Structure 1
Amino acid sequence: MDRKHPLASAKRAARAGWPGGSSSDAADARAEQVRNRVRLTIEITARAGEYRRGLIAAVARLSAEEAEILAGLEEHGLQVPQLHDVLCGGHVLVDDPNLYERWRAAKGSHPRLSSHHRDIDKTRYPDIGMRGHVVREKLHGRTATGTWVQLEKTPAAFGGSKMPSIDDLRHLMDYVVYRFTGSNVGPWGLSRMTERRPMYLSPIVAVPTSLTPPVARSLTKALRRIEESDDVTAVSQQLAARFPPPDRQDLAGELGQALSDRGGRGLFGNSEVWITQTPSRTAAAVLRASSDRASAATVWPTGGPR
């Protein structure tokens, strides 16, 4: 499935050329738009969730490459409450291998050693790290069916001829915390979403298959029976009989229809988000004027009703 990424779309639009400005200006404008969207999303989740100090200050310095990581997860169904676990180091699986290549090509990406998903050929698909103000150390790699990603509090560069650094020692301390608490240590907190209990986004769970004729007939009868019983739940039986449901020949076939791309509850599904500010003064004035006109129309003339 071809998923359209905001930054990728911006680059394509820039190559095509935008009226009123250069292609580089258009790409920068779209990238800034994506960056602002991600900043706002993080600020919203920070209102309800608890994070380490400094997150809001780091969000102000969010880079386009970091925004691309989080926007890519939002494309695949990430919701605001789940963003908390991502920022706190949750292990995320996405059944889309294209994300691996897209994030691998980002500016600042570099091969990195890790112990995650050892069943993958690391020579062909090395794990990739990237540092940033918000993600601190983003680490991602391939799975058998897609891409995994995890944000870490402290970067590490074990292996090769490099001597252990202060960051390596801090990374070992984070590992000790993981062993004692069973939680990943992310940039802004702890998450129980580990590699053994990951967060799944856009999992491939649908396996198309055909039904034998006897099973299809039996299933169709059951579906029609359910539909007829549900037809009288909202209105009277006499009224429902006058407006029968559409006559569909293949009721069983509808069970295999999946939601379209981005289908579901959306970015703010299951989130504690509410309006915390008053409406604009212009809107308030319009509503007040409408209310005054409605009240004046119902005022009785002097002397009472006639």
Structure 2
Amino acid sequence: MRLRHSQGALRGARRSGGAASGTARDRQAEEERRRVRLMIEITARAGAYRKGLVTAVGRLSPEEAAILADLERNGLQVPQLHDVLCGGHVLVDDPQLYEDWRFAGQSRPRLSSHHRDIDKTLYPDIGMRGQVVREKLHGRTAQGTWVQLEKTPAAFGERRLPGLNDVRHLMDYVVYRITRSNVGPWGLSRMTERRPMYLSPVLALPTPLTPPVARSLTRALHRIEADDDVTAVSKDLAVRFPPPDRPDLAGELGRSLSGRAGRGLFGNSDVWVTQTPSPSAAAVLGEGSEPSEAGAWPRGGAA
């Protein structure tokens, strides 16, 4: 069974030909499952879901955890997880995820009406069943990968006669037509294919500047840098230690920050911590309210 890992170290080692021991992979997979379980349990406290979500989280599979962890690695925040679990249509500008989410023994080709502009013979849509995702469906886009969780597993593409689940799937489609909301495993989401959730969108495009604009911009940047040099330190030191001469200051504009820049995993959600008061800590902090006779504060007191 092929396991996906959201941590860059093991992912990079596998792509570069490095091999990690089975024990290390198992530990990584279990840590990934624990993290995803915690994310779901947090969002389940505040969001409205169908009954049974917390129970299903206890049976979360490594494959399900890998998919949700990859979404988190690409910028998914805990408040957005609600829409994912309720069937929101998600776009990620990472085509490699299409291959990473094809798990041996778990994934199967599926027919769907999503993203018809993609050659389905070259990039067939892929389904996978699970306790939390119920029916995960993903495929390729022109720029990356899309994924959507469905309430009812369907047999489309398995070359057999339609069953009860297929009838239920069609009923979910009727609900979608009426409510204009996707029917996910644990609720409804307005994040449809026409109004999807974007993660890690590729928005930065190189745009050349005309020579007059480039010269004017470079002069302005040189002037700003020179002003910073003489105000940050004394003028004598600024003359003795000039900054590196970089002829193309304009070329430094637009460079993205390394790593994940943004609001973080919890975004603007209401996150709070409840804990039992510690009598020992209160006692230590309460000591030393008055200076000692020697004029020094007791150890552990306020400074």
TM-score, with length taken from structure 2? 0.81
- The SS at the match of 1:185 is strand
Distance 1:173 1:29 in 2: 41
Alignment partner of 1:143 is 2:146: no
Return the match for 2:291 from 258, 283, 297: 297
Q: For this pair of structures, how many residues does the alignment match?
A: 281
TM-fit CA distance, 1:6: 3.0
Partner of 1:5: 6
- Matching residue's letter, 1:257: R
Structure 1 segment 31-42 matched on structure 2, within 5 A: 31-42=29-40
TM-score, with length taken from structure 1? 0.80
- Matching residue's letter, 1:9: L
Q: Is the 8 A contact 2:132 2:185 kept in 1?
A: yes
- Matching residue's letter, 1:289: V
- Matching residue's letter, 1:297: P
- The SS at the match of 2:203 is coil
Residues 54, 277 of structure 1: CA spacing in aligned structure 2 closer, same or farther, 3 A cutoff? same
Partner of 1:216: 214
TM-fit CA distance, 1:160: 6.6
Q: Is the 8 A contact 1:7 1:34 kept in 2?
A: no
TM-fit CA distance, 1:206: 0.9
Distance 1:152 1:243 in 2: 65
**Higher mean Cα deviation, 149-158 or 258-267?**
258-267
Distance 2:111 2:183 in 1: 17
- Matching residue's letter, 2:39: T
Distance 1:8 1:58 in 2: 29
Partner of 1:59: 57
Distance 2:204 2:12 in 1: 33
Partner of 1:203: 201
Partner of 1:157: 155
TM-fit CA distance, 1:157: 1.6
Residues 182, 228 of structure 1: CA spacing in aligned structure 2 closer, same or farther, 3 A cutoff? farther
Which deviations, in whole Å up to 9, do the C-alpha atoms of 1:31-56 show, x marking residues without a partner? 11110000001111112211111110
Return the match for 2:115 from 113, 117, 128: 117
Residues 227, 97 of structure 1: CA spacing in aligned structure 2 closer, same or farther, 3 A cutoff? same
Partner of 1:285: 280
Structure 1 segment 129-140 matched on structure 2, within 5 A: 129-140=127-138
Distance 1:257 1:7 in 2: 21
Which deviations, in whole Å up to 9, do the C-alpha atoms of 1:92-129 show, x marking residues without a partner? 01111100001013541111111101111111111000
